[in-house]
Each structure stands twice: as C-alpha cells, then as structure tokens.
Amino acid sequence: MVRGTAQPAQARPYYQKALQIATSITAQLEQARALEGLGLCHTLEGNPREGRTMLLQALAIYQRIGSPRARELQEELRDTRLSG
C-alpha cells in the first residue's frame, strides 16, 4: 500500500491540496484517493488513529461509488500497521 509515500511529510500537503480541489469540484473518486493518501501519510508518520479515520472515510467513498478499490482497501485495513 505504500504508493508514492516514501516521504509522507512531503507528500501530505499535496494530498491535502488534492482533497481540497476534489471536494470543490465534487470528484468523489479523487476525494477518496486523496483521503487514502492522507491516511497513509498519517499512519507512516506514527499517527495510526488519525490515519485510520481518513482511510475509513476513503473506504466509505469507494464503497458508495462502487469502486473496486473498496475491497482492496478493506483488505489492507486488516494489516496490523493500519489497524490503529
């Protein structure tokens, strides 16, 4: 699951900006992707509770829009690093 987050502190502002833009244009898939990225950043930075909250928000969007990513993320949330 560590896609593009080798440096989470540097990646986080970009995910935050992406979330802001996606929310403003109501691009649900992109909102979910940004939330997933933010969740992963927080998790990798030692904030698993905050990270899990964002990952669950991303999962809810993926499920709502019928994205196949929902099942994948659900499985990844079982990973001990993401269990919070």
pLDDT 10s digits, 16-74: 999 999 999 999 999 999 999 999 999 889 999 999 999 999 999 999 999 999 999 99
Tell me the pTM.
0.88
Residue with tokens 């833009």: 21
CATH architecture assignment, domain 8-82: Alpha Horseshoe (1.25)
Instruction: Please check the confidence at residue 3 and state whether its pLDDT lies above 60.
Output: no
Asked whether the predicted pLDDT for residue 81 surpasses 80, the reply is no
Angstrom distance (rounded) from CA 74 to CA 19:
20
Listed by start position, the domains of the chain span 8-82
Read off φ and ψ for residue 7, nearest 5 degrees: -130, 80
